[in-house]
């Protein structure tokens, strides 16, 4: 498990004005009725085979131990209702059913009894339900994220069976796909990649930008930033970004630290998890919001909250201008087990300083910009002195001088190495193939950004086809929280049963592809 800083004794402060603004920006969700398109069967290997035409549904009767799986054709987020009846003799006992929802087929096959991961089993989308009287409409109160629904009859009685006459999903999202111009490319893989990215983003856009509609259904800063970028290039639902920014700035720790994550129910609440990188990246998200919207009023109002993250992070640096190992430990960066994040923390601070300088200049705060520029130079030279290994020609991190993709990528994004040197550094790290690889689409996104910054457009496209394309080859309808091409079953939680398969931070191909073409 990644170490993060959890502050159990924290005092929270609320800026009522900001929270009020956020509340007013709550979107009205759009709804669509979706019905299953096929009855399928799923093998133990997760292979989906057609079983019957959907028109056959009300001719299938389920007795004890029988099941059927419905395929909704694409990833859905919504509320499900089932119209049930009994056949045979009169219903002399409750119908006892298990309903299982899967974003991907293998979730249907996973046995939740065997789950032993370290996050709550409550995330597994499975219900055991008694229906006392049939016929009935069963309206499930939870919102599900799924493509497949298995209905399993735990028990009926020897006298009656259950028939599922109809199933409807009321799918919800803040945005509609209809207004979106798909990415035009001759390569079908890129077109499919865009389609799946858009669906991922759409299904994560709810009352806030959720990280994943299956799990955690919350607002995380790192995810928000990437979703916002993809949103500016596609749906342009910019008021939703604004709402999320006001929430983060309106609900902070007493010292002004912006949390890594926010709850929106039962009331708006900042979590007690803080991450060095996520807090800082609020500033970059604000800069990007400004670039996308030109909304000076909002940005000026939120600027002090953003700048406060620099002041707080600055305290983690020593007299050599080197960030502490602890700050590294409290970074997210990636879910790669064993990854040392000290060098990434140093780089992310420099990266955010760059954005702060740009903002200060844009708002006529030249003095501040100059001061920050001096600090940036000091941090860059400390990064080179302390983290650059001349002999190996790579950045290293931590006391054990660990080599990882993450350190190189963030140092390049921060501009510590640039131009030809940076380009060669990326080649070197790919060749070295360090054990500390990248496992989340979040980290992989930043790798692609680094390639683009070095002018490696073709390599960027090839890499996207390898990474996000790898998920497509495995049948992804939406992109996943975690994908390690060397180990597709990997999970940061001890079991892939709780992995999210529609995850915000994986939606960036839509943004990257459009950025690439715009630059031509
Ligand atoms: C996971 C969430 C989220 C991410 C954090 C760091 O729990 O799914 O996407 O931002 O980790």
Q: Please write the tens of the pLDDT for every residue from 369-403.
A: 999 999 999 999 999 999 999 999 999 999 999 99
Q: Ligand 1 centroid to 220 CA: how many Å?
A: 7
Residue 212 CA, ligand 1 centroid: distance in Å: 9
Is the pTM for the entire model greater than 0.85? yes
Can you tell me the distance from the alpha carbon of 303 to that of 311, in angstroms, rounded to the nearest whole number?
13
Question: What DSSP state is assigned to residue 382?
Answer: H
- Considering the chain, what is the average pLDDT of its residues? 96
Phi, psi of 260 (to 5 degrees): -75, -25
The ligand 1 atom at the shortest distance from the C-alpha of residue 4 is 6
Query: Which of 261, 274, 276, 498 to mutate for ligand 1's pocket (most ligand atoms within 8 Å of CB)?
Result: 261
- Where does the pLDDT of residue 519 fall: very low under 50, low under 70, confident under 90, or very high at 90 and above? low
Ligand 1 neighbour 493 (Cβ under 6 A): no
Q: What is the dihedral of CA 250, 251, 256, 260, to 10 degrees?
A: -120
Task: Give the chain's end-to-end CA distance (angstroms, integer).
Answer: 42
How many helices (H) does the chain have, and how many strands (E)?
Answer: 15, 19
Nearest-CA residue for ligand 1 atom 1 is: 216
Mean pLDDT on 410-417: 98
Calculated CA dihedral for residues 353, 413, 415, 332, nearest 10 degrees: 50
Angle between helices 342-362 and 296-314 (to 10 degrees): 140
The two tokens of residue 301 are 């109002």
- Two structure tokens written together for 413: 């994004």
Give the HSE-up count for residue 415: Cα atoms under 13 Å, Cβ half-sphere. 12
Q: How far apart are CA 466 and CA 486, in angstroms?
A: 12
Q: What is the mean pLDDT of residues 218-231?
A: 98
Instruction: Select from 117, 211, 244 the residue to mutate for testing ligand 1; criterion: most ligand atoms less than 8 Å from CB.
Output: 211
**Concatenated DSSP letters of 73-111:** EEEEEEEEEEEEEEEES---S-EEEEEEEESSHHHHHS-
What is the enclosing helix (H) or strand (E) of 220?
Answer: strand 219-220
**pLDDT the model gives residue 456:** 97
Ligand 1 atom at minimal distance to the Cα of residue 275: 6
Q: How far is the CA of 332 from the centre of ligand 1 (A)?
A: 9
Is 334 touching ligand 1 by the criterion CB < 6 Å? Answer: no
* pLDDT for position 516: 84
Alpha-carbon distance 411 to 396, whole Å?
11
pLDDT per residue as tens digits for the range 54-99: 999 999 999 999 999 999 999 999 999 999 999 999 999 999 999 9
- At 498 the three-state DSSP class reads helix
Cβ atoms of residues 255 and 312 within 8 Å: yes
For ligand 1, atom 7, the nearest C-alpha belongs to: 216
Closest CA to 339 of 281, 285, 405: 405
Residue nearest to ligand 1 atom 6, measured at CA: 332
Q: Which segments of 388-508 does DSSP mark as H helices, in order?
A: 405-413, 419-432, 441-453, 457-473
């Amino acid at each position: 498990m990644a170490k993060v800083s959890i502050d159990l004794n924290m005092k929270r402060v609320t800026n009522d004005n900001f929270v009020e603004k956020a509340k007013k920006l709550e979107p009205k969700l759009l709804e669509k009725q979706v019905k299953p398109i096929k009855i399928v069967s799923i093998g133990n290997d997760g292979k989906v085979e057609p079983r019957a035409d959907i028109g056959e549904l009300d001719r299938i009767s389920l007795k004890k131990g029988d099941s059927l799986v419905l395929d909704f054709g694409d990833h859905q987020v919504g509320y499900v209702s089932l119209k049930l009846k009994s056949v045979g003799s009169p219903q002399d006992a409750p119908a006892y059913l298990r309903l299982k929802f899967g974003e991907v087929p293998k979730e249907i096959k996973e046995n939740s009894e065997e789950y032993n991961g370290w996050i709550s089993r409550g995330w597994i989308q499975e219900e055991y339900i008694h229906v006392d009287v049939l016929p009935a409409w069963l309206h499930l109160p939870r919102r599900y994220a799924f493509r497949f629904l298995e209905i399993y009859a735990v028990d009926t009685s020897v006298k009656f069976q259950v028939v599922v006459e109809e199933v409807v999903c009321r799918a919800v999202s803040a945005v509609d796909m209809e207004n979106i111009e798909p990415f035009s490319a001759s390569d079908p893989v890129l077109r499919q990649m865009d389609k799946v990215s858009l669906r991922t983003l759409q299904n994560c856009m709810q009352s806030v930008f959720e990280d994943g509609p299956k799990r955690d259904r919350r607002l995380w800063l790192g995810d928000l930033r990437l979703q916002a970028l993809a949103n500016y290039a596609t749906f342009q639902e910019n008021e939703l970004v604004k709402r999320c920014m006001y929430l983060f700035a309106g609900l902070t720790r007493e010292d002004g630290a912006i949390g890594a994550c926010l709850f929106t129910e039962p009331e708006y609440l900042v979590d007690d998890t803080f991450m060095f990188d996520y807090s800082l990246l609020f500033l970059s998200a604000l800069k990007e919001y400004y670039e996308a919207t030109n909304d000076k009023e909002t940005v000026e109002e939120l600027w002090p909250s953003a700048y406060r993250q620099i002041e707080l992070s600055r305290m983690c640096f020593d007299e050599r201008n080197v960030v502490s190992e602890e700050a590294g430990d409290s970074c997210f960066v990636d879910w790669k087990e064993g990854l040392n994040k000290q060098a990434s923390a140093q780089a992310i601070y420099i990266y955010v300083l760059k954005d702060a300088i740009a903002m200060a200049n844009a708002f006529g705060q030249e003095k501040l910009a100059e001061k920050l520029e001096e600090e940036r130079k000091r941090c860059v030279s400390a990064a080179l002195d302390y983290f650059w290994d001349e002999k190996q020609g790579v950045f290293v991190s931590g006391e054990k001088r660990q080599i990882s993709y993450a350190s190189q990528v963030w140092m390049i994004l921060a501009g510590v190495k640039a131009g030809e040197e940076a380009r060669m550094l990326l080649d070197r790290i790919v060749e070295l193939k360090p054990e500390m690889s990248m496992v989340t689409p979040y980290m992989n996104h930043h790798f692609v950004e680094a390639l683009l910054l070095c002018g490696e457009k073709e390599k960027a496209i090839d890499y996207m086809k390898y990474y996000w394309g790898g998920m497509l080859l495995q049948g992804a309808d939406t992109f996943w929280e975690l994908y390690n091409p060397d180990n597709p079953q990997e999970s940061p939680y001890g079991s892939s049963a709780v992995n999210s398969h529609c995850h915000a931070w994986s939606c960036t191909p839509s943004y990257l592809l459009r950025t690439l073409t715009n630059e031509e």
